[in-house]
Structure 1
Amino acid sequence: MAIPVAWRRHGLLLLLTLLYVDTFIGRQILAVMIEPIKAEFGVGDTAMGLVTGLAFALIYASVGLWAGRLADRMPRTRLLAICALCWGVATLLGGLATGFVVLVLARMLVAIFEAPVTATSLSLIADLYPPERRALAISCFTSAPTLAAIVAMSLGAWLVGLHGWRTAFVLVGLPAMGLALVLATLVREPQRGAHDVASRLSLPLQGLRASLADLWSRPTYRLLIITSAVTTLGANAYGMWNATFLVRSHGLSLREAGMLAGFIGGGSAAIGMLFSGWLADRFSHHGPAWQLRLPQLGHLLGMLCMLLYLLWPPQTLIQLGPLPVPTAMLWCALNGFFAVWWVGPILSYLTQLVDSSIRSTALAFQTIAVTLFGVGVGPLAVGTLSDLLAPHAGSESLRYALLLCCVMPLVALLLTERVIRIVQPAPDRAQRMA
């Protein structure tokens, strides 16, 4: 199997991105379902942190490594077709939940079929595009969560408000089934390792545990995984609770909050994702240290903007027809633009670090780490902290709980500096500074 021609390459990238968009809509639309689900089932913020995060993340982490191993052993397009079909069915079942426990179980089922999607897709992209063009391609793919945020938080808020959260689940599950049909019938599997070079980390054929131990023993790989997990912990917690924060602290309706969080937060993040991917490709010939400086800059600027956004007083900047836009949304937009600068460069470097024979497994471990900490721990930690602060801060408890999200980019910035010191030896740094 040869490298696909341009239109097939871009077409497969589009299909992978659309599937990723749909799966993330399924995750993020829960952000505008929090209040209706709480009202129907009579649960608190901690319980919603469970259903929006930890219940999904634990199952995802349990099966994710085996899913990555499977993607290294079988045709990846076929695996994605099966997962898309089953994921769509599982999402439909979430809309039929008769109680809170049933809803949690449905989210766990969704996690099983979603587990192979990210690592398998990134492995395919690494075989579609050479390293000097890969960061932008990965940024196009990983912009899916930001595109999903626009749909989930704006259209999703309108849909949930008009037809209820159950109908929203049904409508999210249907597109994945159509994508499954296209992947199964029209897409060809690209050649594995088409752009690999001899210097990449290649492990002998061995068991899953031994492969992971070998990968984890590499300082650069290990630090990049930890950095990704720490960054996503704050980012996902913020994304999941942002609409609720706008409702409680800025007095917006659920529909207004969803539209603003989706279009402004998600739209600016999509632009920032694509811009940082393009910039990383431009710097690729200077070496990985240059690419890793972009995430550092994004962490610093994003952290400052998020701090200002969370602490800004409730006041209206402009009235767009019936929609009030708080002044704080300026900082929300800037945070969205800068906070995602780590995604394309770091994932691109990870695909270049490992050989195609273990790439899906290596990427699956990264995906599991960001899901377990970002999707699992992040929303639950903020929800629990909000409940603990409620007796003292009242309706503003969520505002102060979200300040936890400002700490994570600082930790990620320091970890990235350690990676740079490994990939760029001290003499090289001194020579560049001379």
Structure 2
Amino acid sequence: MQLAPQPAGPEPAHAPVYPWLVVALFLACHVFSYIDRQVISLLVQPMKASMGLSDTQIGLLQGLAFGLFYAMAGVPIAWLVDSGRRARIAWVCVGLWSFATMGSGVVKSFASLLAMRAATAIGEAGLPTAAMSIFSDLFPRHKLARATGFFILGPFIGGGLALVLGAAVLGHFGDVTSVDVPRLGALEPWRIVFLVVGAPGLLLAAAVALLIREPARRSTVLLSGRADDVDRVRSIRETVHVLFTEHGYFLVCTLGLTCAVIVFFCVAAWFPTHVIRLFSLAPASAGQTLGPIFIVCGASGTVLASLLATAGSPANPLRRVYGVTGICLIGLLGSVLGLFVAVSYTASLAVYGCAIFFLSGVMSLGPVPAQIVLPNRMRAQGMALQALLFSVVGAGLGPLLVGAVSDGLGSGHPISVGRALALVALPATLCSMVLFAASYRMLFRSRGSSPAPQPI
């Protein structure tokens, strides 16, 4: 097995500004995708009062309806990305979710609202794979982690801005029960929030369509030594077979990243409840404190990890990606251990900030090995399969395990959530470290020998 793929053709020779314009535009799209996805969390009470929805129906809108369609649509759209024009797919997806978000503000029934949320999920499922596949053909291998890292700022910025923008619109209208909107009639403020956050996406879709050109696909030398045929379109079944036979390290790396994603969703879902119960805080107070920490630590961890992974010589970028990921996992392990001993409010906030910081570093570099190593016409499908596993196992299993362990410890005790969070996050972090180390050895070594480093 060779050390890693090398470009079969020259590195891209675009003007220095253009690739970063593409990154900036896709980052803006990614930010608004998370605004459109998360803003509903601020509108639960007015939506329930207006449409007579139950908590179960709200849960469907926020969780199952979105997550299920996001996961189901990801792989088929990724096949289109691998086989077609990625820039066109990107602007169609941005336009679809933006239109669906605005539609959420005007529909009158729960079934229609459910359909709008499903359409939002389908649109958002296509952006990451299309964008990161384009980055792979715009940037030299040793700069790819930086471009991807900046793109992955989207969830951290968008998740925070969803609360800020939603609160600003609701606050602007105060106690007003409805507002007359031309051609739409009288709309309640929560409906206007959907219109306000969805509209910019239509402008971004137009910008992507007008400004982003489809880059030429670059071939690589595969791990088997064969040249990558960039003109050959592969079926989803063939892609899955090749990924998990010829690229066994990919499965191990994906499992390691999934373990880190489990920790992320556990911390994001349960840490607010932990501090609310342990320190008798009001939910609003906890949110006002944890929200800025999430944005600042998540964004800074993402940027710093991507900068470190692309610093220095252009030789062997994968080694630097794995090295920075390993450092972040060690830091995450320390943060998780801190959950067992942090008993003061200040110490708990410090543990939370450190955990988000190191998790963001791991997650920002997670897609990079697939971008560098996988065949061109398989990259998007490989990343979509990763996202499917993250959605099902990371987002689905992690928070559930914390809740079950907390119940087992006695959910009425103030410390039970913190202990449960630590007991789930610790083995998940250790598994992530072991699996990342194993995938590194599988990728860089063959039969116990270590080939000489080669530029990628």
Q: Please state which band the TM-score falls in when normalised by the shorter chain.
A: 0.7 to 0.9
Contact 1:91 1:170 in 2 (8 A): yes
- Report the Cα offset of residue 278 of structure 1: 1.5
In structure 2, distance between residues paired with 1:398 and 1:159: 34
- Report the Cα offset of residue 399 of structure 1: 4.2
Structure 2 equivalent of residue 323 of structure 1? none
- Report the Cα offset of residue 130 of structure 1: 0.5
| CA-atom RMSD in angstroms | 3.5
Structure 2 equivalent of residue 320 of structure 1? none
Match of 1:288 among 318, 324, 339: 318
What are the superposed Cα offsets for residues 253-306 of structure 1, whole Å, 9 maximum, x if unpaired? 444433332321221121111111121123763563443132233123224324
Contact 2:297 2:356 in 1 (8 A): yes
Which residue type is aligned with residue 209 of structure 1? R
Structure 2 equivalent of residue 27 of structure 1? 37
Distance 1:406 1:82, change over 3 A: same
* SS across alignment from 1:72: helix
Which residue type is aligned with residue 34 of structure 2? F
Match of 2:201 among 176, 179, 198: 176
- Report the Cα offset of residue 233 of structure 1: 2.5
Structure 1 equivalent of residue 184 of structure 2? none
Distance 1:145 1:356, change over 3 A: same
Match of 1:414 among 416, 434, 441: 434
Q: Which runs of 5+ in 1 are unaligned?
A: 316-325
Contact 2:35 2:162 in 1 (8 A): yes
Match of 2:152 among 139, 142, 145: 142
Distance 1:263 1:208, change over 3 A: same
Structure 1 equivalent of residue 182 of structure 2? none
In structure 2, distance between residues paired with 1:398 and 1:97: 38
Match of 2:220 among 184, 197, 210: 197
Structure 2 equivalent of residue 339 of structure 1? 359
Which residue type is aligned with residue 43 of structure 1? D
- Report the Cα offset of residue 382 of structure 1: 4.9
Contact 2:104 2:117 in 1 (8 A): yes
Structure 2 equivalent of residue 233 of structure 1? 262
Q: Which has the larger radius of gyration?
A: 2
In structure 1, distance between residues paired with 2:128 and 2:348: 33
In structure 1, distance between residues paired with 2:202 and 2:68: 25
In structure 2, distance between residues paired with 1:162 and 1:390: 44
**1:291-306 correspondence runs (5 A):** 291-306=321-336
Q: Which moved more, 1:289-298 or 1:71-80?
A: 289-298
Distance 1:224 1:304, change over 3 A: same
Structure 1 equivalent of residue 388 of structure 2? 368
Structure 2 equivalent of residue 393 of structure 1? 412
Q: Which runs of 5+ in 2 are unaligned?
A: 1-11, 174-188
Structure 2 equivalent of residue 308 of structure 1? 338
Structure 1 equivalent of residue 298 of structure 2? 269
* SS across alignment from 1:285: coil
Contact 2:250 2:370 in 1 (8 A): yes
In structure 2, distance between residues paired with 1:173 and 1:190: 28
Distance 1:392 1:375, change over 3 A: closer
Contact 2:82 2:233 in 1 (8 A): no
Contact 2:100 2:116 in 1 (8 A): yes
Distance 1:34 1:266, change over 3 A: farther
Structure 2 equivalent of residue 223 of structure 1? 252
Q: Which moved more, 1:226-235 or 1:116-125?
A: 226-235
Which residue type is aligned with residue 354 of structure 2? L
- Report the Cα offset of residue 73 of structure 1: 2.3
In structure 2, distance between residues paired with 1:98 and 1:310: 48
Structure 2 equivalent of residue 428 of structure 1? 450
Match of 1:43 among 55, 71, 77: 55
Could you state the TM-score of these two structures normalised by the residue count of structure 2?
0.78
Structure 2 equivalent of residue 318 of structure 1? none
- Report the Cα offset of residue 27 of structure 1: 3.2
Contact 2:142 2:317 in 1 (8 A): no
**1:314-329 correspondence runs (5 A):** 315=345, 326-329=346-349
Contact 2:146 2:310 in 1 (8 A): yes
In structure 1, distance between residues paired with 2:274 and 2:46: 15
In structure 2, distance between residues paired with 1:399 and 1:273: 25
Which residue type is aligned with residue 365 of structure 1? L
| Count of residues paired in the alignment | 415
Which structure has greater helix proportion? Answer: 1
* SS across alignment from 2:435: helix
1:124 and 2:134 equivalent? yes
Q: Which moved more, 1:290-299 or 1:98-107?
A: 98-107
What are the superposed Cα offsets for residues 372-400 of structure 1, whole Å, 9 maximum, x if unpaired? 333444455556766x5697426766545
In structure 1, distance between residues paired with 2:284 and 2:264: 22
Distance 1:231 1:113, change over 3 A: same
In structure 1, distance between residues paired with 2:169 and 2:300: 25
* SS across alignment from 2:83: coil
- Report the Cα offset of residue 338 of structure 1: 1.3
In structure 2, distance between residues paired with 1:49 and 1:70: 31
Which residue type is aligned with residue 18 of structure 1? A
1:7 and 2:29 equivalent? no
Contact 1:94 1:107 in 2 (8 A): yes
What are the superposed Cα offsets for residues 323-368 of structure 1, whole Å, 9 maximum, x if unpaired? xxx5422222211221222234332221111122222222222222
In structure 1, distance between residues paired with 2:277 and 2:42: 13
The alignment-based identity, stated in percent, is 23
Contact 2:100 2:120 in 1 (8 A): yes
